[in-house]
Chains A and B, each alone.
Chain A
């Protein structure tokens, strides 16, 4: 069983490296450990989304039962998206769970995750706070997602990023870690007073 997993990953590596998507640097796959069981994926944020221009690192673990069971994939880069946990990077995507099929590959998984960034499913959330913001105040969601992409994933700065950075800085000046500051501000729709209260209460 384990040998099938490794042999298939070897072949899939070739598939990803020689793919047109890799050529356009949309997706990337690298080894973390020599045994091919722990990989690192990389996807580019799709155009016309808050994630455009950003690069996201994915942590990929290959189970011994691969390809009969899906790879375990989560975001290593922080991201603000209804179907991805802003705290742990866990992904809610059907093909990584009950809709997995043995003919799927790491290439199709990376492309599916990239597609998820372009089409969120707020009714099947992994992060309830993000999903609520996405549904109730879409413009704040868009701004926050874009800010996270810029702050954590090298995305392009937007017209409001200076304002938001200033808010983050004002919290950091109170001795709050920048990650905690970004999280609290994002959670409370960038209302600094509520965000600070939530941290010190």
Chain B
């Protein structure tokens, strides 16, 4: 019997497709600067994910890190959040991604 059972489960794996789903957790769906979803990358990048992360401000507004960096570098910004005009600073726990 045991042998027969073993024969029944003699499955050969030829190909295995693993599917995973990920999402940035933010109060908004898309970046207010480039208007692309956070799950897509900023217009300067090619691959979404860790190489093009999302950044959160202390005012709880979210942008692609690359987009908000470009805005803050711009004199026009006066270093304020593009959505609420409060002084922009990054939320502490996203600082590890910021580096």
Question: B residues within 8 A CB of A68?
Answer: 70-71, 74, 76-77
Task: Please name the residue on chain A nearest to B83 by beta carbon.
Answer: A103
Task: Tell me the interface secondary structure of chain B in the complex.
Answer: loop
CA distance A126 to B80 in the complex (A): 27
CA distance A98 to B77 in the complex (A): 8
CA distance A101 to B78 in the complex (A): 10
Task: Please name the residue on chain A nearest to B71 by beta carbon.
Answer: A102
Question: Which of B4-12, B15-23, B27-35, B89-97 lies at the interface?
Answer: B27-35
Instruction: Tell me whether A12 and B80 are in contact (CB under 8 A).
Output: no
Contacting B at CB under 8 A, from A64-98, are: 65, 67-70, 98
Given A4-B43, A68-B70, A103-B82; A98-B34 close (CB under 8 Å): no
Say whether B44 faces chain A, with CB atoms less than 8 Å apart.
Answer: yes
Say whether A151 faces chain B, with CB atoms less than 8 Å apart.
Answer: no
Please tell me which one of the listed residues B43, B70, B74, B85 contacts residue A3 in the complex, with CB atoms under 8 A apart: B43
Task: Tell me the interface secondary structure of chain A in the complex.
Answer: loop
- Tell me the minimal C-beta distance from B18 to chain A in angstroms: 32
CA distance A7 to B33 in the complex (A): 11
Question: A residues within 8 A CB of B36?
Answer: 7
Question: A residues within 8 A CB of B67?
Answer: 102
- Tell me the minimal C-beta distance from B88 to chain A in angstroms: 11
Report the count of interface residues on B (CB-CB < 8 A): 19
Say whether A135 faces chain B, with CB atoms less than 8 Å apart.
Answer: no
Instruction: Tell me whether A4 and B44 are in contact (CB under 8 A).
Output: yes
Q: B60-71 CB contact bits vs A (8 Å, 1 = yes)?
A: 000000010011
Question: B residues within 8 A CB of A12?
Answer: 35
Question: A residues within 8 A CB of B43?
Answer: 3-4, 7
- Tell me the minimal C-beta distance from B32 to chain A in angstroms: 4
Task: Please name the residue on chain A nearest to B73 by beta carbon.
Answer: A68
Question: A residues within 8 A CB of B83?
Answer: 101, 103
CA distance A69 to B81 in the complex (A): 14
The 10 closest A-B pairs by CB, nearest first: A103-B82, A103-B32, A102-B82, A4-B43, A101-B82, A102-B33, A68-B74, A103-B83, A11-B35, A102-B71
Given contacts A68-B76, A103-B32, 13 further A-B contacts (CB under 8 A): A7-B34, A7-B36, A8-B35, A65-B74, A68-B70, A69-B74, A70-B76, A101-B77, A101-B80, A102-B33, A102-B71, A103-B33, A103-B82
